[in-house]
Amino acid sequence: MRRNVRHMLIRNVLSSLLMIVFMCWSVATFADSRDLYEFDTPAQQTQFQEILTRLRCLVCQNQNLADSNAPLARDLRDEIYKKFKAGEDREMIMSYLTDRYGDFVLYRPPLQKNTYILWFGPLLFLFIGFVVLFFIVCRRDKKIS
């Protein structure tokens, strides 16, 4: 075929190949803990993943153990997997972690005495805001009438 057509063909093939390589590469980097551990049933895998989402990565503290790539997160996932396979339930696994790392390791803060402010604080402030608003409006009405 003519030279410039052949060049175009080669260029197209090469760029397509390059694109495929990059796509595969980017898919591989999205591979997560789901792909590394084996389970007897898909339900077990879901259960395991669910436990991981309830635990905080202490290195990247805004991520849970399912998402984080920190070395400690990987170690903890391994330990949790071992325990899960050994038949430990969610509560036992969570206590294993809170015994060592405290409540902070729970991704969702537990509802207990020292976290009431955390849970109810925003609602409380909203309520105070409404009360203040109410009084201001009342006073304005009184002034008008």
Partner 1 sequence: MKWRLFIPFIIFIGLGIFLWRGLSLDPSEIPSALLNKPVPTFSLPNLKLNDDVDGVDEVVFSNDDLKGHVSIVNVWATWCASCQIEHPVLMNIARQAKGEKGFKGLVVFGLNYKDNRDDALRWLQQLGDPYTKVGFDGDGRAAIDWGVYGTPETFVIDREGVIRYRQVGPVTQEVWEKTLAPLVEKLRRMS
> Any contact of residue 102 with partner 1 (CB under 8 A)?
yes
Written in H, E and C, the secondary structure of the chain is CCHHHHHHHHHHHHHHHHHHHHHHHHHHHCCCHHHCCCCCCHHHHHHHHHHHHCEECCCCCCCECCCCCCHHHHHHHHHHHHHHHCCCCHHHHHHHHHHHHCHHHECCCCCCHHHHHHHHHHHHHHHHHHHHHHHHHHHHHHHHC
> Any contact of residue 23 with partner 1 (CB under 8 A)?
no
User: Using CB under 8 A, which of 58, 83, 88, 106 touches partner 1?
Assistant: 58
Please give the size of the binding site for partner 1, defined by CB under 8 A.
Answer: 14
User: Using CB under 8 A, which of 32, 50, 75, 89 touches partner 1?
Assistant: 75
Asked whether 66 and 75 are in contact (CB, 8 A), the reply is no
Q: Is 63 exposed, middle or buried (0-12, 13-18, 19+ CB in 10 A)?
A: middle
> Any contact of residue 122 with partner 1 (CB under 8 A)?
no
Least Cβ distance, residue 108 to partner 1 (angstroms): 16
User: Using CB under 8 A, which of 104, 125, 127, 135 touches partner 1?
Assistant: 104
Least Cβ distance, residue 75 to partner 1 (angstroms): 6
User: Using CB under 8 A, which of 38, 40, 99, 141 touches partner 1?
Assistant: 99
User: Using CB under 8 A, which of 37, 39, 101, 107 touches partner 1?
Assistant: 101
> Any contact of residue 127 with partner 1 (CB under 8 A)?
no
Task: Give the binding site for partner 1 (CB under 8 A).
Answer: 58-59, 61, 71-72, 75-76, 79, 98-102, 104
